[in-house]
Homo-oligomer: A and B are copies of this chain.
Amino acid sequence: MAVTLRDVARLAGVSIKTASNVVNGYSFVKPENRRRVEEALAATGYRPNIGARNLRRGRTGFIALVVPELGIPYFGELAGLVITAGREQGWNVLIEQTQASREGERAVLAALGPHLIDAAIISPEALHASDFADLDPGVPLVMIGEHSVDVRIDHVAIDNVLAARTAVGHLVEIGRRRIAAIGAHPYRGTAALRLAGYHQALADAGLPELVRPALHYHRQDGAAAMASLLDLPEPPDAVFCFNDLLAVGALRAIADRGLRVPEDIAVVGFDNTEEGAYSRPTLTSIAPDKHAIASTAVDLARRRIETDGEFEPEDIQTPFTLAIRESTSA
C-alpha cells in the first residue's frame, strides 16, 4: 500500500539515493534522471514517510501549542491561526490543553519530550518561574501572552499594561468616574499587568480603584464578580474586564438587574473575540492582532530550532487596537 523511495527508484531505474536527491531538490542530478524520477513520483503518488525522515534528521516536524482549553473562544481562534501559520512554514502543530491549572501545565511540560516535538509555544496561566527550572522539556519554548520577568524565554505578546491603560483611559474619556476591574488573579501574569495598567490609568485621572478577582476567566466568573459589584451601596458606572468572557458574564449580570449598558454601566473587554462583536450590546474590547501573535510565535520557534537556540531570548510586542462598540458608546 504505502509507496517508499525504493519503489520510486526501482520504477525510475535509479538508486534510492538519487530518488531521494530529486525529492529533496539536490542540484547535481542529470536532467534525464530527474525527469524519470519525477514521472515515477507522480505515477506512484509517493509521499515521504515523515517518521523515517525525522528519525534520520533528528527532528520531528512538530511543534506543540499549549493552551488552557480549546473551548475558550480566544484560544480556539488563536489555535486555528497557529495551526495555519505552522502549516505555512511546514510544521505540524500539536495542541495540548492544561485546563488552566498549574498542575495541568506542569504535566504537559513534563510530558513534552524532545522526541515528539521540536519546540513548544505555551500560553501559561499559572506557571511559576521555578516550574521552568525543574521541568525543562529539552526543546525551545516560546511564551505567548504572559511575561514572567525572571525567566529568560522567548516571549510574544501585546503590551498588556498599555492595553489596559488604553481601555481604562477610554472609560475615563467618556466620563466615567467609578471604574471597576474584574479579573485580578494571584498567579496569572497577564492579570498583574492588566491590573497595573488599570492602576496607572486611574492614578492619572485621580479616580478611585475597585477591583474584583476572578479565579477562572469564564463567563460565570464575570457574572459573579459583576453581581457582587452591583450589590455595593455605590455600584460602579463602568467596568474593565480582563477578558471578553468575563465581560460577557458581566453583561448578563447587569441585564439580570434590569440595568442598561452603556447608559448605567459601560463595559470593556479584552481579546476582541467574535462573540463580543455580536453580544447585546456589542462589546468594546482590546483587540490584539492575533494573526501577528500566531505567526510571530511560530516564526520565533522556527528560528530557535534552526539556530539551535544560539541567540538571546527575544521579547516581541505585537500591535493591538481598541475596538469601540456599543458597550461604551450610545
Is A71 located at the chain interface by the 8 A CB criterion? yes
Within 8 A of B (CB), among A244-300: 248-249, 251-252, 255, 274-275, 277-280
What residue of chain B has the Cβ atom nearest to residue A218's Cβ? B274
Chain B residues, Cβ within 8 Å of A315: none
Is A51 located at the chain interface by the 8 A CB criterion? yes
Interface residues as binary, A49-89 with B (CB distance below 8 Å gives 1, 0 otherwise)? 11110110000100000000111110111011001100000
Report how far A278 CA is from B246 CA in the complex, Å. Answer: 11
Stretch from A7-15, A29-37, A112-120, A145-153 forming part of the interface with B:
A112-120
Q: How many residues of A contact B (CB 8 A)?
A: 47
Report how far A70 CA is from B290 CA in the complex, Å. Answer: 14
Report A10 CB to chain B, min CB distance, Å. Answer: 19
Chain B residues, Cβ within 8 Å of A97: 80, 83-84
Cβ contact within 8 Å between A70 and B60: no
Is A1 located at the chain interface by the 8 A CB criterion? yes
Cβ contact within 8 Å between A71 and B76: yes
Chain B residues, Cβ within 8 Å of A93: 95
Q: Which of B115, B252, B277, B279 contacts A49 (CB 8 A)?
A: B115
Report A279 CB to chain B, min CB distance, Å. Answer: 7
Q: Which of A83, A95, A251 has the most CB of B within 10 A?
A: A95
Cβ contact within 8 Å between B115 and A47: yes
Is A138 located at the chain interface by the 8 A CB criterion? yes
Chain B residues, Cβ within 8 Å of A251: 280
Report A164 CB to chain B, min CB distance, Å. Answer: 23
Chain B residues, Cβ within 8 Å of A47: 113-115
Q: Which of B54, B76, B95 contacts A51 (CB 8 A)?
A: B54
Chain B residues, Cβ within 8 Å of A278: 219, 223, 248-249, 252
Give the 3 A-B CB pairs with smallest separation, nearest first. A76-B76, A70-B80, A47-B113
Is A94 located at the chain interface by the 8 A CB criterion? yes
Is A329 located at the chain interface by the 8 A CB criterion? no
Report A13 CB to chain B, min CB distance, Å. Answer: 24
Is A2 located at the chain interface by the 8 A CB criterion? yes
Chain B residues, Cβ within 8 Å of A49: 55, 115
Is A92 located at the chain interface by the 8 A CB criterion? yes
Is A319 located at the chain interface by the 8 A CB criterion? no
Is A48 located at the chain interface by the 8 A CB criterion? yes
Q: A50-B115, A73-B73, A79-B95 are in contact. List 11 more A-B contacts (CB 8 A).
A: A1-B138, A2-B115, A49-B55, A50-B51, A51-B54, A70-B77, A71-B76, A71-B80, A84-B97, A93-B95, A94-B94
Report how far A93 CA is from B54 CA in the complex, Å. Answer: 18
Cβ contact within 8 Å between A115 and B48: yes
Cβ contact within 8 Å between B83 and A95: yes
Report A18 CB to chain B, min CB distance, Å. Answer: 21
Chain B residues, Cβ within 8 Å of A48: 115
Report how far A129 CA is from B76 CA in the complex, Å. Answer: 30
Chain B residues, Cβ within 8 Å of A71: 73, 76-77, 80, 274
